[in-house]
Chains A and B, each alone.
Chain A
Amino acid sequence: MSDPTLEPENILDRMTAAAVVLWGADRARELEPMLRLSAQALSRIDAYMLSAADDPDEAPNGRSS
């Protein structure tokens, strides 16, 4: 079962709260479309990762240059 805090609206609420602190309430409202897009992206990734098999080597480490 997925963690309810990772539903898009929950993530959006937390990001909006951060935006109010960082940039003020007016700017937070202007940022809402972008924050919503990002929250949806995070929720989508989270949902996929919950169903992915564990990988013992998955520690983040992109392609080396």
Chain B
Amino acid sequence: MMSSPCELLLHEAAAQIRAGSLSPVELIDDVLARIVHTEDRLHAWVHIDAERARAAARKHQEAGTTDGVLAGIPMGFKDLYDVRGLPTAAGFAPWRDRLATDDADVVAALRSHGMIPIGKTVTTQFAFSDPPPTRNPWDLERTASGSSSGSGAAVAARQVTAALGTQTTGSNLRPAAYNGIVGFKPSYGSLSRRGIVPLAWSMDHPGILARCVRDAAILLDCMMVPRATGNGMRSGVFEAAALAPRPLRFGVLTEFCATAVPEIRAAVDGAVRTLGANGATVREIVLPIDLETIKATQWTLLQCEALELHRRLYSQEKGHYLPRMRTLVEGADTLPAWAYVKAMRMRRVIRKAVDEAFADVDCLLSPVSPDLPPLITENTTGDYSLLAAWSLLGLPAASIPIGLSVARLPLALQIAASYRRDDLMVTGAAWCESLLGRLAAPPLA
């Protein structure tokens, strides 16, 4: 039986469009129909631009410009990204009508390859932790996580072929894990952040959400282009890495694994055994700095940087700040001046220790989150503990699904590589995916 167009992977849809067996209009119409059918339960979108998306698809079709690597591919963007002609609200009511006059750099890069933006996805306010309305397509009583909740849920639920999120602590890979899809958080500074609402400059990362490693790699190829090279170019390095999976030298972070609930720990243990049995070198790694100190450092830097970003706006629009964001700003304003300096010094110490951990391994493995997606009633977007290190240090990290729990919730593996070795992250993720498989669609009829 033929797949419905909205169910196709990005590279499959692009190949069919190039071959003429699928039209961009058919794909966009099917994706929009899927959104109409499921959105009242999922709450993944804040703005759908159906008219412009259809017009763009028709233009591709009529002009015959269907040979771009993303020609006719619909994508969603977390509502922190500027998308020309659409509002960028960042979950903040006073910005509801703040129209973007230009694309964020990475949106422009994707658009230059033929990508069609279909709308803006739900974010927590300013990418912090006030729970968003989005539901998890695997269990509508559970969170889709945050802060990239809308992008994660929409991609998993086949509402869109791929989406972008962001990560300052764990906001891209945790939604990937909770929703059973692939997430990439590339190296800090490797992707432009221009046109994206910041939360903490030194740790903000654009992120990719897709349904397989190859798709995420194609997007990374299109986005990670030196500015001087210009739009319309792509490296091809990462798709090539995704298409040539091979066993690597993996280190398993035992302290990270020990914090996870038994079901996640068992799944990661099982995945690691499979990797070892298929030719990978696997060794246990214990970082010389404990997880709590890493989290403390990341949290301190986040507070200081977010305060500086929000001080003025907060004084003007305090009433529109949600409770946790308000607490973040007000609490951060009480920090002593030495807090930031000390945390910066500590980051340097952590970086050195983690760099040394990569001396004999290509990738570090751990769970993505120590818990399964919490219930909506728990009023949380989930635990970020195991993601903070890679955001703090700017290292590339990926999340791939590795199965389902007894309650049929997604389980995930995190794969981190050393700085600017995004190619190893992709190779490692692709190899793990080739052995561990992908998840079928969630049970959201």
Give residues in A with beta carbon < 8 Å to B: 11, 14-16, 18-19, 22-23, 27, 30-31, 34-35, 37-38, 40-42, 44-46, 48-49, 52, 55, 58, 60-65
Contacts and interface: CB of A to CB of B under 8 A. Distances in A.
A61 B345 CA distance: 9
Given A11-B336, A35-B334, A41 B344 contact: no
B342 A62 contact: no
A36 to B, nearest CB: 10
B228 to A, nearest CB: 15
Interface stretch (B77-85, B136-144, B346-354, B405-413): B346-354
Contact of B330 (A31, A41, A48, A65): A31
Contacts of B295: 41
A33 B281 CA distance: 44
B300 A42 contact: yes
Contacts of A22: 330, 333-334
B299 A38 contact: yes
Interface residues of B, number: 36
B331 A35 contact: yes
A46 B342 contact: yes
Interface string B263-301: 000000000000000000000000001001101110110
18 contacts: A14-B336, A15-B334, A15-B336, A19-B331, A35-B331, A38-B300, A41-B300, A42-B296, A46-B342, A48-B346, A60-B345, A60-B348, A62-B202, A62-B344, A62-B347, A63-B394, A64-B189, A65-B189
Contacts of B384: none
Given A38-B300, A42-B300, A48-B293, A27 B330 contact: yes
Contacts, number: 91
Given A41-B296, A61-B344, A63-B419, 16 more contacts: A14-B336, A19-B331, A22-B330, A22-B333, A31-B330, A34-B331, A35-B334, A38-B300, A38-B335, A41-B295, A42-B296, A42-B339, A45-B342, A55-B349, A60-B345, A63-B393
Contacts of A49: 342, 345-346, 349
B343 interface: yes
Contacts of A46: 342
B303 interface: yes
B292 A55 contact: no
A65 B193 CA distance: 10
Nearest to A14: B336
B238 interface: no
A57 to B, nearest CB: 8
Nearest to A28: B334
Given A45-B297, A60-B341, A64-B189, A38 B331 contact: yes
Nearest to A41: B296
A63 B331 contact: no
A38 B188 contact: no
A61 B332 CA distance: 21
A41 B335 CA distance: 11
B348 A58 contact: yes
Contacts of A11: 336
A58 B346 CA distance: 9
A58 B345 contact: yes
Nearest to B393: A63
Given A60-B341, A60-B345, A19 B330 contact: yes
A28 B252 CA distance: 42
Most buried by A among B300, B332, B334, B336: B334
A28 B79 CA distance: 32
Contacts of B336: 11, 14-15, 42
A31 B346 CA distance: 26
A15 B393 CA distance: 27
Contacts of B419: 63
B339 A31 contact: no
B192 to A, nearest CB: 9
Nearest to B339: A42
A16 B342 CA distance: 20
Given A63-B188, A64-B189, A37 B299 contact: yes
A18 B327 CA distance: 14
Contacts of A40: 296
